[in-house]
């Protein structure tokens, strides 16, 4: 009898191991990359969001806009050489967009060369009507964004159309943007013009572009505190198949080396304001981050 019970338990354990192994394998894509495994999608994404449709008093009615910098690159080459199919995270991008729009701010979308925005469609909350609505509203801009290079060369100097720069998250923010010379110029211009800088999750990685032509002691965000996606969590996610391998580099570590302090240790709903830099830790922070950004921008225009 004992032997039968033991064998039954052993069979269940083996079955669980097999199921976990299968469901934690990253899913291959048509271009030879990998998107998150079924297990990772179950644990890390949702069909809805916590967007609360906040109504803002003293809604902005002027002409100043938000300039959103998005990635045009899809695949991140991991430390093992495998490619992770990424882009900008739709929740981290669109919940803040919804709040900014509710507060009265229009949004212009740019990518480095004007190629379409890459979005992690596997993370799209398909049952969230608010997210689906703003995605449809901006779909043409996502597919035909403005060109950051053209903006920097032809429209940046003396431009007074914008109140903030916004860098949404998703691992795609680590592709190209941290080494982009045009983004370097844009960050320095926005900093000198005292514009807001908004960045969530992996978005702060793009702030590294500000240090391309200077030493670490002159990094414009040296001494700042931020919320961002922790390197330690990125180290763990391959275990559930979120990514097909270890990260190729750690953006938090690089920001730390430039004098930036990341205040959160978990991928949670932490948000933080340090002067004109507003940051959030993860998709869980997207709603609060959007509200915080909208509120701070309204304070500025209504003071």
Q: Tens of pLDDT along 143-176?
A: 999 999 999 999 999 899 999 999 999 999 999 9
Q: What is the pLDDT of residue 1?
A: 60
Sign of CA dihedral 112, 190, 57, 287: positive
What is the mean predicted confidence (pLDDT) over 210-230? 90
Cα–Cα dist 85/296, whole Å: 34
Q: Is the pLDDT of residue 245 over 50?
A: yes
Residue 9, pLDDT above cutoff 70: no
Q: What is the average pLDDT across 242-253?
A: 97
Residue 13: pLDDT over 70: no
pLDDT at 217: 72
Dist. CA 38–CA 218, nearest whole Å: 44
Output the CA torsion sign for 135, 100, 42, 40: positive
Q: Please tell me the predicted confidence (pLDDT) of residue 213.
A: 78
Q: Binning pLDDT at 50, 70 and 90, where does residue 234 land?
A: very high
Query: Quick check: 37 pLDDT over 70?
Result: yes
The predicted pLDDT at position 19 comes to 45
Does the pLDDT of residue 216 top 90, yes or no? no
Give the mean model confidence (pLDDT) for residues 80-108: 98
pLDDT value at residue 249: 98
pLDDT exceeds 50 at position 21: no
Residue ranges of domains in the chain, CATH in brackets: 61-302 (3.40.50.880)
- State the pLDDT at residue 303: 79
Q: Which position has the higher pLDDT, 214 or 132? A: 132
Q: Is the pLDDT of residue 116 over 70?
A: yes
Question: What pLDDT does residue 218 have?
Answer: 86
Asked whether residue 187 carries a pLDDT value surpassing 70, the answer given is: yes
DSSP character string of 9-49: HHHHHHHHHHHHHHHTSPEE-TTS-EEPPHHHHHHH--SS-
Band (26; pLDDT cuts 50, 70, 90): confident
Supply the pLDDT for residue 16. 47
pLDDT at residue 12, rounded to an integer: 54
Share of the chain above pLDDT 90, in %: 86
Burial class of residue 88 (count of CB atoms within 10 Å of its CB; 0-12, 13-18, 19+):
buried
**Contact status, residue 294 vs residue 163, Cβ threshold 8 Å:** no
Catalytic residue among 91, 201, 281, 297: 201
Has 70 been annotated as catalytic?
Answer: no
* pLDDT attached to residue 6: 52
């Amino acid at each position: 009898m004992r032997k039968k019970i033991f064998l039954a338990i052993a069979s269940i354990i083996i079955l669980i191991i097999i199921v976990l192994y299968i469901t934690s394998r990253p899913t291959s894509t048509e271009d030879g990359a990998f998107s998150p495994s079924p297990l990772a999608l179950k644990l890390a994404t949702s069909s809805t969001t916590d967007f609360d449709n906040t109504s803002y008093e003293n809604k902005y009615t002027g002409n100043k806009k938000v300039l959103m910098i998005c990635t045009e690159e899809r695949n991140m080459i991991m430390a093992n050489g495998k490619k992770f199919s990424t882009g900008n995270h739709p929740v981290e991008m669109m919940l803040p967009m919804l709040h900014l729009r509710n507060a009265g701010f229009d949004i212009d979308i740019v990518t480095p060369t004007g190629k379409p925005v890459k979005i992690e469609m596997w993370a799209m909350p398909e049952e969230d009507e608010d997210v689906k609505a703003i995605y449809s509203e901006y779909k043409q801009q996502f597919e035909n964004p403005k060109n950051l290079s053209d903006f920097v060369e032809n429209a940046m100097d003396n431009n007074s159309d914008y109140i903030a720069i916004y860098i949404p998250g998703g691992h795609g923010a680590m592709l190209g943007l941290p080494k982009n010379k045009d983004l370097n110029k844009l960050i320095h211009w926005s900093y000198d013009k005292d514009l807001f800088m908004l960045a969530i999750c992996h978005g702060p990685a793009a702030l590294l572009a500000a240090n391309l032509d200077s030493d670490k002691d002159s990094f414009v965000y040296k001494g700042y505190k931020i919320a961002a996606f922790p390197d330690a969590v990125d180290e763990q996610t391959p275990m559930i198949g979120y990514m097909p391998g270890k990260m190729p580099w750690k953006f938090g570590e690089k920001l730390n080396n430039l004098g930036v302090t990341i205040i959160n240790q978990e991928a949670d709903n932490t948000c933080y304001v340090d002067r004109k830099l507003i940051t959030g830790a993860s998709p869980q922070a997207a709603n609060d981050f959007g509200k915080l950004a909208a509120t701070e921008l309204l304070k500025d225009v209504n003071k």
